[in-house]
Structure formats: C-alpha cells, structure tokens
Structure 1
Amino acid sequence: MCASAAFAGVLADLRWLLPSLITVVAVVGTGVLGRRLGWPNVGVAAGQLAVLLVALTALFAGSSAFLGVLPGPAAFGELARLLGGTRELISTGVPPVAAEPPLQALVCLGLGVVALLVDLIAVGIGTPAVTGLVLLCVFAIPASLSDRMLPWWTFALGGAGYALLLASGGHHRRWRRYEEPDRVAHTLFGRTTSVVAGTAGVIAVLAGSVFTGVGTEGRLPGSVPEEFGGTDGIGLQPFTSLRGQLNRDQVVELFRVRGLQQDSYLRAMTLRKFDPRSGWQLDGLTQGVDASAPLPLPEGTTIGRGRPERIEVQPIGYRDPWLPVFGTPVEVSGMGRNWRYDPAAGIVFTQTNQETRPYTQQVIVPDPSPEELRSARGPMPIDPAYVDASGIAPEVADLARRLTENAPTEFDKAVALNRYFTDPANGFRYDLTTAPATGQDALSDFLFRGKRGFCEQYASSMAVLLRSIGIPSRVAVGFTAGYQDGTEQVITTEDAHAWVEAYFPGWGWQTFDPTPLSDGRTALPQFLDTALHPPQAAAPLPGQPQPAPAPGAPVPPAAGAQPDQPDARDVPDQRREPADRTWSVAVLVLIVLLVCAGAASPLAVREIRRGQRLQAITEGRAGAADTAWREVLDEFRDRGYQPRDTHTARQLAERLAKDHDLDATGTDALKQLVKAVEREWYAPTSQADGTLPETLKAITASLQQNAPLDLRSRLFPRSALPPWRTS
C-alpha cells in the first residue's frame, strides 16, 4: 500500500485508495488465516485468488452478483466490461486522470495480485528482500505514464514500506553472529531466490516497455504507430491527449509566458494527411534544420512582414517532443540541444527524450489585411499533399461548393466556411461529448446530423472542406493564449486546442478557427476578426443608397431585429483559474500519518510502561521487586520467548540465561533479582531493596550485548502485542 502511493502521480483523486486498501487487506487476511489453519503455500495462494475475485465483485459488480458478493456469469461480464473500458481512458487521458471506476478496478486488480506475490515471497518462501523487485513494478507503471517526476513523498513512502517489510520478519532474524556463513549465502543466493528475482526482473522490464508508450509520452516524431487512432474517424492521431486534456477533472498548469503582446495561438504541431477512415495524421516530417540557428521562413512564404515579438516560455507541467511556438519563429534559444525545425510543417521538435527547459522565441506575428489576402495570387511552392482531397465524400464536397459559391476569392471562401461553423443559426454547438454515430462516416455524421463536438471535430471538418474546393489546408494542434496572471500568461490543460491553417501565396499559412467557443479563449487574427465582424457603417441619410456589403460579409439584421445570440466578442471571459487540488495530497498525508501512528502505538505503549516501572523501582515503592521481574520478563518476550505459567522464577531464570547467552554479570544479576522476588513474595518486609535499579540495569545491559533486538522487535515489541503463540 505504501508503494501504491506512486499512483497519486497519475490519478487525479483518491477514489481508488479505499477500494485498494480493502482489496489488499482481504488478500493478506486470507493469507494469515490460511497459514494459521496449516494450509500449504499453494492452498493459501488459491484462497487469496478466490478472495480477490470476491472483493472485486463486491466492489465493482455487486449488482450482478449472487448476494452482492459471489461472482457469477453476470458479474464476470460486468467486470470484463469495466476492465475493458480502461483502454479508452488510458489511450485518451493525460496523467493525472480522474480515478473513474474502470481505473479503480484495474488498480485494485493489480495491487491484489502484487499483494498475493509479496505475501507468498515474504511469508510463504521467507525471502522478503526479493519482494523489492515486485514492488518496483508498482512504481514502474506510474513512472512510465507520468509526464514528469512522481512526487518525492511517494518514493519515501515506498521505501518506508519496504523497510518495514524487511524489519517484520524473515531469515535475517536468525542471522546472528552464531549463524554459519554458508547458510546465510545459501539463503541469499539459493535457487528459489534466483528464480523469483529473475521472474520479477522480467516482469518489471516488460511492464516498463509495454506501458511507456501510453499517451503522448515516449512518442517521437516520425514514429506514429497505429495505436494513435483518432476519434470517430476525424481524430488527431499524434495528439490523442487533446481529448484527455480538455475533459480531465484536474486542471494542470503547463506554461507561463512573458512578453506576449497580443493573444495568439501556441502551435505544437501541424497535420497534413487526411485519411477518411482514421483521421488526420502527422506525415512527411523531415529532419529540418538546427533549431538553435537562425530559422528560415516557412516553406512557401516570401512575405516576412509582421509584428516582431520576443517571448519567454517557461514549461511547468509540459514534457513532449514538440516545442510549441507562436507565429512565425525567427530564432529559438535556451531549450537545450538536439532540437530541429521543419520549415514545411512549422514544427520545432526533438528525437531525443529530454526535459523541456525554459526557452525564448523571437517570432513574427503576421498581420495581413483582408484585402491583401484577397489579392494573394501566384504559384504555390508547397507539397501537393496539402491539397489532397482523395476519399472525401461527395456530399461533403458539395456542401463546400454550396457554402462558397458566392465568394469571389480564396480568402472569402475560407471566411465563409469559418462562418458556417460559428454562426449560431447553423446549429453547431461546442460540446466535449460528440453526438452518437448513425452508421455513416464520422465526418458526414458531424456535418449533417450531429453538429456537436469540440475543437477536434471543427478543425478537422473545416480543413477537409477547404481541400475539397482546392484551398491548401492543414490542422494545427496546440494551445490558446491562456489567462493573465500579473505580467504573465498562464496556459493550462484547459487551453489545449486545434484550429485550421490555410495557405495563401506569398503570405504562407494563416490561422482560421471554426470552433464556436463562448468562453473568451478564441484568439482570432485581426484579418479574420475583421472579415467575420466587419465594422458597421454609419446609417445613410434619407434618400441615399445603401452601401453594398463587403464580399463574404454577413448581411446586417433589419432594423429592430434581435440577434439570436450576442456577438462572440461581447461574451465575458468565464474562464477560471485552476482549482486548488492540494486537499487530495493533504488527505493522503493524513492517512499516512494515521497509519504511521497506528504502527508506532506498540512501541509507545512499551516505552510508557517501561518508564512507569523504572520510576516505581527507583522510588522503592511496594512490590518493586515484582515490578522489576515483570520488566525483565517483558524484555525476554520482546526477544520471542513466552514464559509458561507452570515454571517457577528460578526455572525461568535458568532457561532465560541459557537461551539468550547471558554473560556472568547478567546471570548473577538475574539470580539476585530472583532472590529479591522470592523474598518479596514469600517473606515480605517493609525495608526497600536499594540495589534493584542496578540489578535491573545489569540484566538489560547483558541482554543488549548478547541478545540484541532486531529492527522489527524494536519497532513492534511483542510484550505490547497480544500473544499469538507460546514457546
């Protein structure tokens, strides 16, 4: 359970803790009961597996079980469905994720199996040190899933738990100075230990290899595997974590930005290939150029005019092979070695797994006017893949033609498509939950029936519509500008976003955003904001003709008409700063403190009892000899000896001195104490024995020298615990 604290680094809340504790206690309790009943190790393990299944059934499939706990076919089906649901949560979530019931069940199953193995190795086989390799597996999974170092206190708890396990028993209790060296070596390096250690090592390596690739962690440019499937056919394969960042319960701070003069999108990557069956994909990424040198203009861009800015970015909770940049990067510094820049894709990336350091960007924020983009003409020196429209459904292409048939220029066509999604009259709605599929392809479902989704669906759809009418397009993935915090912009997981970039000769790739956000996060470039919301001209004098609207501009409502919804620019910023989640850590720390207090209670009881007895003996109170004798017997109980009621004080003293190798001084002092006890029992006098404190001190000193207590016996003194057996 101490090792399971590592899951606090990848799970956002503590809902998994109580079910896990119940599961582990059930497994360990079954082991204790089985061994007290004399079961062999195989029988104990079988009983623990059965109890583990019952515990999982009671916790997660009680409604389908017999009497709420006994598993049957329906309960097995419910558990299988629940555990099967972890695949989507793992593939789309970005740690820390909410501890939903499927993940709770998976964690309980894993910890139950680990508890069984640790119990078998430490108690059944008697080699507790080997359990460290099994417990490393518990750390390996969260460490490989998390995008940053696990909290330090999880390692401290794991180490403390392992130390307690070593101190609680095993062969080391017999490794005293009289143990033969060859016997110790056989125990340490015997066949059983080697087999268990080798198996645990293989499991640890396999677990680390399998789970390292989950999410975006471990994914390097140019190696996008099939597992990065999109969402309903129009997903963003290389950045599946986008969905996880948008719908996670806990908001995580990713960047702090200084020097940003105007809100702008922070681009992490661009996607150029569209496959109707699997969605948008990263494709054609080259080795590019050294990102630490002055950067060339993006491919196909000849006009480098714009607003120069120097921006400082400090990554907080971000670690990825993509280095997000604003606008058109001119120079990037401070991020370390081995970073590359691909001018065609506009991406800064690395092929080595390294920590993202604070970095500085010299960028140009393009500021073309709508008229300049309308007049953009000439060749398009970009890869033909950006206009590949193969596989697009005919009804999708027909929709794009109908929406842009009255737009005279490529720019006006792009504005018309952008407006189609953001105009409330067209019925599109921003929602993290997409509409149910109807059996058609996902793109047609979204455009013609569902009309509900988040930035992934909107950016994907508009880029496809642009290509179907011959305008080069790609999908960009990154973050919006975040919120203001003093002189800094704070970008969190709430700001994960996808938008569209369309190509215009000379000006290069320009930003469009079709997602109908209403929370103030949209950061439209000036040319698009002007085209979507043209300034209203002053009302003409009576008798003057009405001016014609600009090409592609919306027709203003009639006098007295009320708009369906307020303008997006008038919507107040409703975003909130990340909620304080320190309470979850505080609860975990409180639980740990309570557990530690419970574990320390036997030692506290023993020390209080010893102090009271020593004070009574020093003050010469009535019954001081009997008090000293009871203290000596507790010293022997702490060393594993349980006195029998049928033995006299002399018989006990002789056996104790022999079994614990007391020296002559200790043996003589024990005999003197027995005489004092017999006088007090059988011939009591009112005169106090002033030598009792020194006698007791000599006995305890001899015990500490010749029969020292091991760590377990010091932490959990047997004299303060209920007796389990007699000897």
Structure 2
Amino acid sequence: MSTRVRPAGTTAVATTAAAVSSLAVSTGFTGIVSDARWVLPVALAVAVVAGVGLLGRTLRWWPPLVVLAQLCALVVLLSALFTGQAVLGFLPGPAAFGELSGLLGQAMQVAREGVPPVPAEPPLQVLLCLGLGVVALLVDVIAVAAGVPAVAGLVLLCVVAIPASLAPNMLPWWTFAAGAAGFALLLACAGSHRQAASASSPLARFDHRGVVLVAAAGVLAVLSGVVFTGVGTEGRLPGGASTGYGSANGGIGLRPFTSLRGQLDRDDPVDLFRVSGLPQPTYLRAMTLQHFDPGRGWELGKLTSGVDAGQHPLPLPDGTETLAAGPSATVRIDPVGYRDPWLPIFGVPRGVTGMGLQWNYDPTSGVVFTQVRQESRPYVEDVALPSPSPQQLRAASGPASVDPAYSDASGVSPRIADLARRITADAPTDFDKAAALQRFFTDRSNGFRYDLSTAPSTSGNALEDFLFRGKRGFCEQYASSMGVLLRSVGVPARVAVGFTPGHRDGDERVITTNDAHAWVEAFFPRYGWVTFDPTPLTDGRTALPEYLSPPAPAPSPTPAPGESQQPSPEPSTVPSQTPAPGDAEQPPVPEADRPGGSGAWIAVGAVPLAVLALGAAPLGLREFRRRRRLAVVRSGSAGAASAAWDELLDEHTDRSGHRPDASGTVRSTATALVESAELPEDAARSVDDLVTAVEHEWYAPAGHSVATGVAAPAEALPRALAALRDGAPLPWRHRLVPRSVLPAARRDRAES
C-alpha cells in the first residue's frame, strides 16, 4: 500500500497559510497590550516555527522529529532575542534558561495581577512569543502535517477568545475580520491541496486520526483558556462578594503600578476626567499603599469597612486633629474615560455625592471605594485643601496616632537605611528629613532622571539598583524609594497613586492618561498626611504645596582646579548620527539592452545590497570611531587622553544602554561609571589614571608633566575596557546596532 506524498509546492502554500492564520488571530492581543513592541518578536516566532516545519517536511523527516526541531528553534529564538547570556549570542545554556525562567515568572505575575491594557515589557513579550509560537506549531501540525485544517480552527478560536474575554472594551472590529480571513485562507489552501493529493472524500479521510486530533485540540483549547484567562483583573477588594469587583479571598488582586505604567505607555493620551471648581492645582488620589515588601514592592493594606461616602461631614483621616489653613471648595469631577472601583478624590474629603450607592470612605487609607460593579457617573466632592506652614510641620510632635504598619521598615537593607541616615544627618525635625529626602531626588547634581525605561537590574534588589546604580525611572521608582527612606528614619509614610492636576481647558481642568502619577504622603502629628513628590518631572505637571516652595538656590560651589568638565572635541570626523535610509544614495541601475537582459538582475541584486549596507552602517560607524580613537591613543599624541575617555564612555554606553551624565566633572562621571558597571579595584584604578590624564590634558598649563605612578592612556584604557567587557557581555543585537551611535531616544527604545 503506497503513501501519497504532497508536492513540495503545495506544502509550502499550506505552511504559509497556517502561519498567516496564526498571526491573523494574534491581532486580538492589541486589545489587552498597550503598545506594539510585541508584534515583531511574535512574527519572528511564528515564521521560525513555520520555516522549520516546512524544511523538515521537505527533507522527509520523521514527523515527531519535525515537531521537536520546531520547539528547539523557538527556544533558540527566545534565547537570542531576550537573554544576554546565551552561548554565542543565541544558543540556550543554563544561564539563558535561568533568564528566560525569570522573565516568564515576571510575566505570569503580570498575567495574574495586571490590568489590561498592559505595556509590552520584555517579560510579556517572552510570554506572547512562547504562547503564540506554540499555537503556530499546533496549527502547523494539525492543518499541514495531519491535513485537517478545520480542527485547527478550535485552537485559533481559543486564541481569539482570550483577548476578547480580558479586554476592558470591545476588541477592534478589524481583529475579528483578520482572524476570520486567516481561517478562511487556511481552509481554502489546505482544502485544494487535499483534492490534489487524494481523490477520496473528506468524510472518508476523517478516520481515527481525525477523532484523536479533534479531541486533543479541544483539550488544548480548554487548557489554554484556563491559563490565559488569568491575565488581568479589574481589582479585588478585601471582604467583597464573589460577584462584581469583590473577592472573598482578601487582599488586592492587582499591582497598582502595573496599571499606572500601562497608562503612561499609551501612544495616544485618553481623557479620563474633566474637573471644575478646583481652586488650585493639586493631586487627585485614587488609592494609597501601606505595606512594603522588599520582594514585591508596595501593596495595599487591609481596608476597613469604612463609612458611607455619601454622609456629610465625613470623618477626618486617622490621626488628623486639625485642618491647617487652606482653601475649601465644591469640586465637580466628570469621569469621561475612567471606570474603576476606586473613586479618585482631592485633598481631605468632607463629603462626596452623585457617584451612586454603596461607595465607602476609609479614613485610615484615605480612599473611596466600592465592592459593587456599577457605571461611572459625575460626582461632587466638598473638599478641604489644608496647607500647613513649614513652621507648623517642624513643630509637629507627639506619638504617631496611625496604624504602626505605616512605620514598618522591616526587610529594608542596611545599605538603604544607611543612605537615609546620611541624607538626613543634618535635619533636626521630621519635616526637614522629608524635605532633604525630596531634594535628594530632585537635585539634578545627584544624577537622577525621569524615564519610563528603567535601568536593567544587576543585583536582584530593584530598590538598591535604582538608588545606587541606575538612578533612572518614573514615578513608581521615586515614590517607592522615598517612602522606604522616610520609614528608615522613623517618619510614617505611604505611597499614593492617582493623577497630577492635568491641564486647563477654559474653566475646567482635563486629566488624561499622561497624568497618571505616584507620590509620597508623610504623617505629621495633628496635621495628618502631607504630600511630598520626589519625581523630577520637567514638564510642569508637579503640583507642590506651598510648604515645599523651594528657597532661593544656593550658589554653586566653585570647582577645584581640574574638576570643571569641558566638552571634549570628537577626534573622529565621522558624522555623529547614522544616515537615515531615505538619505542614502541609491546605486544607479543601468538600463537593460533588451527585454530580459542584465539590467533587471542588477537592480534586483542592488536592492538587498543597499539594505545590507544600511543595516551594517551603525556597526561600521562604531568600528570607525573605535579604530580612529585607538590609533590616537597608541600614538600618544595630543588628544590621546580625550580619545581614550570618549572610547570608554561609548563602550559603557554600548553595554549599559545609557551614557553617563556629563553635566558634572570628569571625576564624578567616572565614579558613576565605575559604580554602575561594578568594576573591580584594578579596573577602577585604571579609570582613575585615565581621568587624571584627561584632567591634565584639558587644564594643566603647557609643559606641566603628569604625576609619577599614573599609567598612560595607552596602558589604562585596555585594562578598563577589558573589565567592562568581562562584566557585561554584549548580546548579538547590540553588537549589530551599537547603542553608542544611537540618539538618546532611540537608544532607550532599543534597550527596552
């Protein structure tokens, strides 16, 4: 009995149709992921699975071997794209598997606790690539290898159902159209090939193999639905019922910062609130976080049952005995694009009306919440905006009459506690300590900067990485850090999550997703919770109260000789930016002498060569700069120290993703580089020798010689570069596109 083999051409068409259908149904994830960074990695995963399957079937491999090869290729792709410790940059080893396991662990935490739409951070990209890669493999096996494409529809339907069940709104219509078109293409292509391959009827071919495949696909669809429908919750409140927003298991089922990050990462801001009657810009608080866990970060504490938010007057927040002088107002808040079980409020609420029934106010946490699912509607808040003076806050004394949990600093590392003590060493009162900690973050000379892309973790302690190495992040990192530092010096603190005041639009203020924010509230006896904001925003969104109005700036200290850093000239004459593809000169295409002549072939060959040349341009530019600088360094001529310094900064940028801040002195920049890269002592000494040579070259009078015992740039630079390369191996993608040749904005996107 002979076995009819499907022609290679028909197999290629069916394989392509299976891959296209898998990609088509994956478009539904645009409804639960806030940006498109996941699309290209997922497309590569599906293409690799389809390509290996086609290769195996063309070479007549044993079918289980084809599936094994597809899985191995998928793992190799994940290692190449998402790990920095793969063997040769792409082969998965124990270290790479450890990285992937960690990323998948983070992704599952987002899956359990995130609120769609969530940002497409690397952990979520790994999860989507793995999940949709496996889906593409199943579709390929069922529709192409087994020849029953209709059964593959069960898997595709499950993929469509996942984002449809999780998205807060209806998925875009075109995602359903794309999925339907992909499935139709799969049926059409596979169906025609079955007719070409066999004259038997479809019913005759639906034998025991088809029954097994239908059952297996059904089980896989159900299991996939069980796993993926754990992605995201609207929020679980303690003590709630099993319906609506509530959950009887206590605690909270979301990470507030996940939702915050998702709003800030949106490409187009969405209007959330329109506010009228607000007498002055102030923060709109949605929730406060009480508990700090070193492993998981800040979390909501246990809520009390509270009081009816509609009663008037509402009780003062716990521990507040008097409201300091400040305006009072009746503020109307219209949630035009906001729906949540947390009702954002300004200042100290005296009464809230109009939002519907079964809303509670918790004086301990200062939040208004509900446990019943209901539509958003405009509401009115009678609000007091107290503004105690610095003198009043300095004089505030006595026991902290709030929950001791707000002072809990257990689990904070000794290094962080020591930093808090050093920052506040000259601060006599709790208010002065809080103000000193805020200045620590907002003073640009300390190196902190606002960025939605945080620096990569190197120690496993995210808080220490931010405070001592990365110093780059958004409001989550700043508020979390200041809250911990406050507790470390004995000041009760909590983290508030909500919104900045937005922008004016006539007589109203408009608050959008761009205004999502986190800040710190510190407790002062009698006056209650007082706002501090350590995030160094530069766009005017900060609404600092009067007690934090900055004093006249102190004069900048006069730099000691050799400490004032001047910009160094670029030794290379190569332009600092890579030419855009549109600026590249296209090679001339000779006209063919006759139809079918050589002209068309030259044109076809020139296009991929031009694309290849443009793709290699960043690597070529970096290599040109390196060789030019090293030649100057080896020669020991004028400018050798500057060339060595520039090469060291670029090498650090290639490996860390960000260039050290050059606004300070050469020595302070070098110190930051050594700490960030965690260089060993001998390498740090080489960097110090190089800095000494740079200072001498820039500032020393003519004829003055360098101090004895200081290594020349030609000796110091190789040792420093070798330590950088040993401590942070470059993944292949950063070798091909070195981050030092990218503008800052593109460099941050490449890093994320």
Bin of the TM-score, shorter chain as denominator length: 0.5 to 0.7
Residue 502 (structure 1) shift: 1.8
- The correspondence of residues 54-133 of structure 1 with structure 2, limited to 5 A, is 54=73, 57=76, 61=80, 73=91, 81=99, 85=103, 87-88=105-106, 96=117, 106-121=127-142, 129-133=150-154
1:138 pairs with 2:159: yes
2:378 corresponds to which residue? 359
Q: Corresponding residue for 2:273?
A: 256
Q: Relative to structure 1, is the Cα distance of residues 439 and 341 closer, same or farther in structure 2, using a 3 angstrom cutoff?
A: same
- Aligned residues of 1:61 and 1:78 also touching (Cα < 8 A): no
In the TM superposition, 1:59-458 aligns within 5 A as 61=80, 73=91, 81=99, 85=103, 87-88=105-106, 96=117, 106-121=127-142, 129-143=150-164, 146-162=167-183, 192=212, 195-196=215-216, 198-209=218-229, 211-213=230-232, 217-221=234-238, 238-241=255-258, 244-245=261-262, 248=265, 250-253=267-270, 255-259=272-276, 260-276=278-294, 278-294=296-312, 295-303=314-322, 306-316=327-337, 318=338, 320-333=340-353, 335=355, 338-351=358-371, 354=373, 357-370=376-389, 371-376=391-396, 380-391=400-411, 410-424=430-444, 426=446, 428-432=448-452, 452-458=472-478
Q: Measured at CA, do residues 59 and 156 of structure 1 come closer, stay the same or move farther in structure 2, by a change above 3 Å?
A: same
Specify whether residues 8 and 453 from structure 1 end up closer, same or farther in structure 2 by C-alpha distance, changes over 3 A only. closer
1:466 aligns to 2:483 (yes or no): no
Note the C-alpha offset of 1:115: 3.5
- AA aligned opposite 1:50: A
Output the TM-score relative to the length of structure 1: 0.57
- Report the counterpart of residue 527 of structure 1 in structure 2: 547
Are the structure 2 counterparts of residues 405 and 84 from structure 1 closer, same or farther at C-alpha, using a change threshold of 3 Å?
closer
Assess if the C-alpha contact under 8 Å between 2:504 and 2:510 holds in 1. Answer: yes
**C-alpha separation between the residues in 1 aligned to 2:419 and 2:57?**
73
Counterparts of 2:236 and 2:266 in 1: how far apart (Å)?
A: 24
| CA spacing shift, 1:149–1:343, aligned 2, 3 Å | farther
Distance 1:402 1:208, change over 3 A: closer
The residue aligned with 2:586 is none
Query: Gaps spanning 5+ residues in structure 2: where?
Result: 1-22, 196-200, 240-246, 560-752
Give the distance between the partners of 1:227 and 1:478, measured in 2 at CA.
19
1:515 aligns with 2:535: yes
CA distance in 1, matches of 2:90, 2:421: 58
Taking a change above 3 Å as real, the CA distance of residues 372 and 364 of structure 1, as seen in their structure-2 partners, is farther
C-alpha contact (below 8 Å) 1:121/1:128 kept by paired residues: yes
CA change 1:254–1:225 in 2 (3 A) is: farther
| Cα distance, 1:522 vs structure 2 | 0.8
CA distance in 2, matches of 1:397, 1:239: 25
Do 1:296 and 1:330's aligned partners in 2 also have CA atoms closer than 8 Å? yes
Deviations 1:428-461 (A, max 9, x none): 4445566677869765665567655443343334
Query: Secondary structure of the equivalent of 2:170?
Result: coil
1:191 Cα offset (Å): 5.3
Q: In structure 2, what residue type is equivalent to 1:387?
A: S
Tell whether the 8 Å contact from 1:85 to 1:102 is kept in structure 2 after alignment.
yes
What TM-score do the two structures reach when normalised by structure 2? 0.55
- Give me the whole-angstrom Cα distance separating, in 1, the residues matched to 2:40 and 2:424: 58
Q: In structure 2, give the amino acid aligned to 1:3.
A: V
SS of 1:212's equivalent in the other structure is coil
Counterpart of 1:714 in structure 2 is none
Contact persistence 1:97–1:249 (CA under 8 A) = no
Give per-residue Cα distances to partners, 1:239-283, cap 9 Å, x unaligned: 241673487373542613221442221212212233455543322
Return closer, same or farther for 1:242/1:519 CA change in 2, 3 Å cut-off: farther
Question: Deviation of residue 510 (structure 1)?
Answer: 1.6
**1:523 Cα offset (Å):** 0.7
CA distance in 1, matches of 2:98, 2:485: 41
The 2-side partners of 1:401 and 1:443 are apart by 16
Change (3 A) 1:4 1:274: closer
Cα distance in 2 between the residues matched to 1:306 and 1:413: 27
Shift of 1:373: 3.9
130 and 286 in structure 1: CA distance in 2 versus 1, 3 angstrom threshold: farther
Q: What is the CA deviation profile of residues 469-493 of structure 1, one whole-angstrom value per residue up to 9, with x for unaligned ones?
A: 4433212122222334555544444
Equivalent residue number for residue 480 of structure 1 = 500
Match of 2:563 in 1: none
For each residue in 1:72-92, what CA deviation from the matched residue of structure 2 results, as whole angstroms up to 9, or x when unmatched?
A: 955897688568645546756
How far did residue 344 of structure 1 move? 0.6
How many angstroms apart in 2 are the aligned matches of 1:461 and 1:454? 11
% same residue: 52
Distance 1:426 1:28 in 2: 51
User: Residue deviations 1:521-572, cap 9 Å, x none?
Assistant: 211123332xx33xxxxxxxxxxxxxxxxxxxx78559999xxxxxxxxxxx
Equivalent of residue 4 in structure 1, options 4, 17, 26: 26
Structure 1 position 285, deviation (Å): 1.8
Rounded to whole Å, the distance in 2 between the matches of 1:275 and 1:36 is 54
Distance of aligned partners of 1:422 and 1:155 in 2 relative to their CA distance in 1, 3 Å threshold: same
Q: Any conservation in 1 of the 2:438–2:482 contact (CA below 8 Å)?
A: yes
**Separation in 2, partners of 1:29, 1:302:** 71
Instruction: Tell me which moved more, 143-152 or 444-453.
Output: 444-453
Provide the rounded CA distance (Å) in 1 between the counterparts of 2:150 and 2:500. 50
DSSP-derived class of the 1:241 partner: helix
Question: Which 10-residue stretch deviates more, 504-513 or 483-492?
Answer: 483-492
Which is higher, the Rg of structure 1 or of structure 2? 1
TM-aligned CA deviation for residue 307 of structure 1: 1.7
Q: CA deviation at 1:347?
A: 1.7
In structure 1, how many angstroms separate the alpha carbons of the residues matched to 2:484 and 2:123?
35
C-alpha deviation, 1:195, in angstroms: 2.2
Cα distance between partner residues in 2 of 1:527 and 1:218: 35
Deviation at 1:226, TM superposition (A): 13
**Secondary structure of 1:349's partner?**
strand
Alignment of 1:663-702 (within 5 A): none
Measured in 2, the distance between the counterparts of 1:325 and 1:387 equals 24
Return the offset for 1:499.
1.4
Q: Deviations over 1:630-666 (max 9, x none)?
A: xxxxxxxxxxxxxxxxxxxxxxxxxxxxxxxxxxxxx
Q: Which moved more, 1:513-522 or 1:81-90?
A: 81-90
C-alpha distance in structure 2 between counterparts of 1:122 and 1:364, whole Å: 63
